[in-house]
């Protein structure tokens, strides 16, 4: 009888320790940052994004103009921005530096100047 109580106590201790470890890991994960980006002829607002390495980001891309694109090739991220809809793009910056994003769908004369930068700090 005493041996089975001891085993039960050890099993419960193990479960509690495991649950505490999972809780600590979950608390240590960075919270997703949400950034709203408006695309319009021929600019993004904001056109300079400052992010932190390893912190997940959701970009909420919108436009009221025509179909536009968002391409950040250094992060393997691309989306169509459809008028009246929100395009949600998730990225986790994995390198430090300054990188370019741009519209990759022709949206009129001036399209070639539609770009911005993502600066990632450590």
Say what the pLDDT of residue 108 is. Answer: 86
Task: Kindly state the tokens that stand for 78.
Answer: 């691309």
How many domains are contained in the chain?
A: 2
Which of 26-35, 79-88, 105-114 holds the top average pLDDT?
Answer: 79-88
Within this chain, do residues 54 and 70 fall inside the same structural domain, yes or no?
Answer: yes
**Same domain for 70 and 18:** no
Is pLDDT of 26 > 60? no
Q: Are residues 25 and 38 located together in one domain of the fold?
A: no
Residues 119, 16: Cα–Cα separation, whole Å: 42
117 and 69 within one domain: yes
Structural domain for 18, as ranges:
1-30
Q: How far is CA 93 from CA 47, 74, 78, 90, in A?
A: 17, 9, 14, 10
108 and 74 both lie in a single domain: yes
pLDDT for the residue 107: 86
Q: So what's the pLDDT on residue 40?
A: 95
Residue 7: pLDDT over 70? no
> Which whole number is the average pLDDT over 38-64?
98
Same domain, 8 and 47: no
Q: For 65-92, what is each residue's pLDDT tens digit?
A: 999 999 999 999 999 999 999 999 999 9
57 lies in the same domain as 80: yes
């Amino acid at each position: 009888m005493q041996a089975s109580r001891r085993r039960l106590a050890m099993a419960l201790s193990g479960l509690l320790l495991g649950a505490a470890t999972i809780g600590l890991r979950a608390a240590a994960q960075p919270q997703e940052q949400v950034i709203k980006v408006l695309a319009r002829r021929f600019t993004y607002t904001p056109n300079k994004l400052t992010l932190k390495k390893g912190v997940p980001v959701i970009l909420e891309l919108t436009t009221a103009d025509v179909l536009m694109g968002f391409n950040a090739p250094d992060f393997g991220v691309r989306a169509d921005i459809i008028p009246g809809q929100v395009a949600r793009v998730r990225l986790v910056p994995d390198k430090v530096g300054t990188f370019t994003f741009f519209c990759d769908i022709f949206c009129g004369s001036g399209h070639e100047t539609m770009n911005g930068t993502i600066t990632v700090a450590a």
